[in-house]
Structure 1
Amino acid sequence: MIKKGLTSLAVFFLYLVSLLPFWLLYLIADFLYVVIYYVVGYRRKVVQVNLLNSFPEKTEAERAAIEKKYFHYLADLLVETIKAITLSEKEIMRRMFLVNEDLVPNYFKQNRNVIIAVGHYGNWEWAVLRTSFICPQHRRTIIYKPLQDKAADAMYIKVRSKFGVTMVPMKATLRKMIEFRKELSLTVFASDQTPIREEAHFFTQFLNQPTAVFLGIEKISTLFNSVVIFADIRRVKRGYYRCTFVPLVDEPKQAAEYEITRAHVQYLEKVIREEPPYWLWSHRRWKFKPDNI
């Protein structure tokens, strides 16, 4: 009962914080940056190792600049994620500008299902919310990896699905896709989730190192003949983003084995290399190598 009470109190506190105006939230973010970077040093060693392995060609000073800018952005991302709790449709449409929204409806007109691959780059949470408004007459599904903290997981589900999308746990993907097979659907997958050791069956080069990758996008797109596109999210300025849908695979059944997986991984790497600070560098992405399996 005590834990449940504390959890409810924390959720209510986050709701109150989300009501604050953006200018005040970014002042809080500036303070958080100082705390997590200079005072706490949150996962700085993880970030430094990830950057060194990913960009060995860069100087130490260049990597240090990326690290610092990343942590400043991470603080912004934290308050923007909280703001998503109460962010309106109008604000989402204004702050996450979708360049070519007509791409998905055009595929639907061809009776084609669509898979969107999105990396943990830029504000992916706002991008997920933005997809809620694409063809609302059709099913829009978000494939997600449940959080270990049940209360936090429940809150994320509520926020992500508040505009009508269907949330599906990763392990239930195939079952749900079969259940929805008679409907035209738009399905969003995170393209850079880390498999657990027992499920790491495929490795590809990503940011200069062999990286375990889920094959879910490839398997589902091939099975249901779904077009695969990539959500290229770019930060325009503080609190504003531009998202462009980039077609990757039009005919998945004709693709060679692992071609689809390499396509979305390589495109994400391209985005990261162009603007490194906006990827989730504090994530322990490379927990193991092929020789550890």
Structure 2
Amino acid sequence: MFAFSIRKLMIKKTFSYIGIFFLNFLSFLPMRLLHVFASLSYYFIYYIFQYRKKVVHDNLSNSFPDKTPAEIVQLKKTFFKYFADMLFEVIKLQSISDVELLKRVKFNNLELVTNYLDKQESILACTGHYGNWELGMLALGVKIPAKAYVIYKPLSNDVFDDWFYKIRTRTNNLFIPMRQTLRSLATSRNQTTMFCFAGDQTPVKDEAKVWIDFLNQPTPVLLGLEKIALQTDRPVIYFNMQWVKRGYYEVDCYLICEKPSSTEAHEITKRNFQMLEQIINKNPAYWLWSHRRWKHKPENNAD
């Protein structure tokens, strides 16, 4: 039994390395050609594999009850077309140059961030899984002078997680597993840093304690960003990444809170989600609708 498990693991790793070799090869192709592949992949993802098609449909229908069935279907198709684009844009990150990176991601008012960092003041940043956040974080690492600690959830496949980690940290970013956040805060307390959070992730069931109204649904929220903001009293800034045209984005920075210690309970978290909700309502197709965001329901939680 043990030998069988080892053999199965080795086969899995072998296929993973083959997959990474193929992805590395693709990354050296021009973005225009990768977008052609993305258009072809859309038909496989949407019509053949039907990847999380029902999840996306249910999420859209529940979030926009006023939209007609035809509008929901059109939104769903637009999302999957963009989802395919995003996958191939992420593949390109393996070989993309800093020059091309900054051509594709434009920061409009980054001085809101750099003014704090230039004064040796650490900050906290938040965003959602909207637009190509991976491309945005890589570009941000080129633009800012301080270390950006990005809080993330490691992939279950160690080989792909290592490959992706090397891509994500090519610029001035450090990616920190979620459970190591407090330790990283402690070890970097004498440095000027920016800790970045994607606040729209779903808590595990036992941690679904606080619920807010988000996109017309009761939604459990993570409080990690707010807890750290209250503990450190660092300014909190929201990064709004908008799709401009295929492969090109603009990022606007907004101050969520300058003095967290003066806020009410859960106020920072609510401001974060209110900002994200406004962004999604304005242009819904570019949020990660395939995420099972509402898998927990209030009635299923003892608290």
Tell me the TM-score normalised to structure 1 length: 0.96
Matched, 1:168 2:176: yes
Q: Does 1:89 align with 2:70?
A: no
Counterpart Cα distance in 1 of 2:29 and 2:51? 25
Paired AA for residue 69 in structure 2 = E
Q: Residue 148 of structure 1: SS of its match in structure 2?
A: coil
Structure 1: gaps of 5 or more residues:
none
Q: Confirm whether residue 179 of structure 1 aligns to residue 187 of structure 2.
A: yes
Which amino acid in structure 2 is aligned with residue 253 of structure 1? S
CA drift at 1:110: 4.2
1:66-93 CA distance string (max 9 Å, x none): 1111111111011001111111111111
Q: Note the C-alpha offset of 1:44.
A: 1.1
Amino acid at match of 1:117: C
CA distance in 2, matches of 1:178, 1:238: 40
> Distance in 1 between the 2:85 and 2:250 partners?
16
Residue 141 of structure 1 contacts residue 185 of structure 1 at CA under 8 Å; is this kept in 2?
A: yes
238-247 vs 220-229, greater mean Cα deviation: 220-229
Offset of 1:196 from its aligned partner? Answer: 0.6
Verify the 8 A CA contact 1:113 1:225 in the aligned structure 2. no
- Determine the structure 2 residue equivalent to 1:237: 245
Shift of 1:134: 3.4
Change (3 A) 1:135 1:234: closer
Q: How far apart in 2 are the matches of 1:186 and 1:243?
A: 17
Say if 2:263 is the partner of 1:255: yes
Amino acid at match of 2:168: R
2:63 corresponds to 1:54: yes
Work out which of the residue numbers 174, 184, 203 in structure 1 matches 2:211. 203
Tell me if structure 2 keeps the 8 A contact 1:125–1:160. Answer: yes
Contact 1:112/1:225 (8 A) holds in 2? no
What amino acid is the match of 1:205? D
Show structure 1 runs of 4+ deviating over 6 A: none
Per-residue CA deviations over 1:140-188 (Å, capped at 9, x if unaligned) read: 2111011112122112211111113111110110111011111111111
Q: How many angstroms apart in 1 are the aligned matches of 2:144 and 2:43?
A: 42
AA aligned opposite 2:218: P
1:280 corresponds in structure 2 to: 288
The whole-number CA distance in structure 1 between the counterparts of 2:138 and 2:51 is: 28
Letter in 2 for 1:272: I
User: Which residue of the partner structure matches residue 215 of structure 1?
Assistant: 223
Which residue identity lines up with residue 27 of structure 1 in the other structure? V
The CA deviation at 1:109 is 3.8
Amino acid at match of 2:232: F
Query: In structure 1, the residue corresponding to 2:151 is in which secondary structure?
Result: strand
Task: Give 1:97-116 correspondences, 5 Å limit.
Answer: 97-116=106-125
Distance 2:179 2:143 in 1: 25
Matched length: 292
CA distance in 2, matches of 1:268, 1:112: 25
Contact preservation (8 Å) 1:114, 1:186 = yes
Contact 1:14 1:82 in 2 (8 A): yes
Q: Secondary structure at the match of 1:243?
A: strand
Cα offset for 1:108?
2.2
Give the aligned partner of residue 161 of structure 2. 153
Residues in 2 aligned to 1:90 and 1:260: alpha-carbon distance in whole angstroms: 35
Structure 2 CA distance for aligned equivalents of residues 109 and 153 of structure 1: 33
* Aligned twin of 1:135: 144
Hey, what's the Cα distance between the residues in 2 that align with 1:131 and 1:292? 39
Query: Residue 16 of structure 1: CA displacement?
Result: 0.4
CA contact (8 A) 1:96 1:241 kept: yes
1:29 aligned to 2:38? Answer: yes
CA separation in 2, counterparts of 1:279 and 1:27? 22
Q: What is the TM-score with the length of structure 2 in the denominator? A: 0.93
Q: Percent identity?
A: 42
C-alpha separation in 1, matches of 2:159 and 2:187: 27
Q: Which residue of 2 aligns with 1:19?
A: 28
Counterpart position of 1:75:
84
Aligned mate of 1:42, from 41, 45, 51: 51
